[in-house]
Amino acid sequence: MKLIDTHTHLYVEAFDEDRDEVIQNALAKGIDLFYLPSIDSTYTTKMYDLEKKYPDHIRLMMGLHPTHVKENFKEELNHVAQNLEQHNFAAVGEIGIDLYWDQTFLKQQQEAFDTQIGWAKEKGLPIVIHCRDAFDEVFEVLEGHSAEGLFGIFHCFTGTKQQAEQAIGFNLKLGIGGVVTFKNGKIDQFLEQIPIENIVLETDAPYLAPAPFRGKRNQSEYLVHVLEKMASIHQRSEEEIAAITSKNALSIFKF
């Protein structure tokens, strides 16, 4: 059984002590591919180094994370643009809008999101969206783009059934991770009504560890707990869910 972690930050400081062990543990559980979203320019070298070390398993995205959109966002966007020209990426991400921590840079976040969607469409790449407390704002930016050439993943989806259908309407798969295992996560209440063909699995490691590890460092190997929960919700075997969601992921990322 092969699994794909469509969203994991294996290059961040949380894994500096045991990164190789974390990757090997995940590989041993059948997680064969890891898609690494970008945060900002300070992590680019570490991402490239990890791809070089595990070329058969690591795939990189390039983008500016919305929580890292600050006064210097134009400089950061320039870094994204340069790297998109120089390297082969699986997606533009993670990009989007986050109003949970700070609303100071909303306009800049909207501009950065819009700009990076444009780059993805120019290059025929999928987008991977980060959205926190900002569904209306994210959908507003997406509505400014024609449907043609727009596709990707709505990462860490935690919205309502209506918002799920809205996201799918933009040709986006829903990235489902540890939140689906939370008692108060709510998305487990309607996900059985969302066709599994619209879903991909992710961890967002080191964040949002699934039960029974909630509150601890998340790891890619914990994807098996997300798989188990999704199999239970959709009343299908884990093998079936793994095969379909992996196929979904590869239909987006291409490699």
3-state secondary structure of 35: strand
Cα–Cα distance for residue pair 225/237, rounded to 1 Å = 13
Q: Hey, which residues does 199 pair with through a beta bridge?
A: 174
Structural domain count, the chain: 1
Assign residue 226 the CATH number of its domain: 3.20.20.140
Look at residue 148 in the predicted model and tell me its pLDDT. Answer: 86
Q: What CA–CA distance (Å, rounded) separates 81 from 71?
A: 18
Is the bond into 210 cis (omega within 30 degrees of 0)?
no
Find out whether 58 and 114 touch, Cβ atoms under 8 Å.
Answer: no
Give the SS3 label for residue 148.
coil
Structural tokens at position 78: 């320039």
Amino acid 177: pLDDT: 98
Range of the structural domain that residue 200 is part of:
3-253
To the nearest 10°, the Cα dihedral for 115, 116, 121, 125?
170
The span from the CA of 93 to the CA of 123, in Å, is: 13
Cβ contact 199:242 at 8 Å: no
Sign of CA dihedral 236, 128, 156, 207: positive
Kindly give, in sequence order, each residue whose CB lies less than 8 Å from that of residue 64, ignoring residues fewer than 6 positions away: 38, 40, 73, 76, 77, 79, 80, 95, 112, 116
Closest to 140 (Cα-Cα) out of 101, 106, 174, 173: 106
Per-residue pLDDT, 101: 86
Query: What's the chain's length in residues?
Result: 255
In order along its 255 residues, the chain shows pLDDT tens digits of: 899 999 999 999 999 999 999 999 999 999 999 999 999 999 999 999 999 999 999 999 999 999 999 999 999 999 999 999 999 999 999 999 999 988 999 999 999 999 999 999 999 999 999 999 999 999 999 999 988 899 999 999 999 999 999 999 999 999 999 999 999 889 999 999 999 999 999 999 999 999 999 999 999 999 999 999 999 999 999 999 999 999 999 999 989
Can you say whether the dihedral through the CA atoms of 225, 231, 237, 239 is positive or negative? Answer: negative
Give the whole-angstrom CA distance, residue 174 versus residue 200: 6
